[in-house]
């Protein structure tokens, strides 16, 4: 199990509601222990995922919440 988590850059988040939507979508993935967003309104926020979810699954979950990962 990855206890430290993997960080992803995510764009388009502006409020706590956005954060909650992304965290809920990613946390619902099989094997995800936690999904936490550090919000930077108007900038690039950081999504930290603890658990064995792969990049494509995380990307799809974020997209289902209406946002996108950035490189």
Residuewise pLDDT in 10s, the chain (71 residues): 445 789 999 999 999 999 999 999 999 999 999 999 999 988 999 999 999 889 999 999 999 999 999 96
Cβ atoms of 42 and 14 within 8 Å: the answer is yes
CB 35 within 8 A of CB 27: yes
**What local confidence, expressed as pLDDT, does residue 29 receive?**
97
Q: What is the pTM of this model?
A: 0.90
Domains and their CATH numbers in the chain = 6-70 (3.30.70.100)
CA-nearest of 68, 66, 59, 7 to 34 is 7
């Amino acid at each position: 199990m990855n206890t430290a988590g993997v960080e992803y850059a995510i764009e388009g988040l502006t409020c706590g509601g956005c954060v909650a939507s992304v965290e809920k979508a990613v946390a619902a993935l099989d094997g995800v222990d936690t999904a936490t967003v550090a919000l930077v309104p108007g900038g690039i926020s950081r999504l930290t995922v603890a658990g064995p979810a792969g990049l494509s699954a995380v990307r799809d979950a974020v997209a289902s919440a209406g946002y996108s990962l950035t490189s």
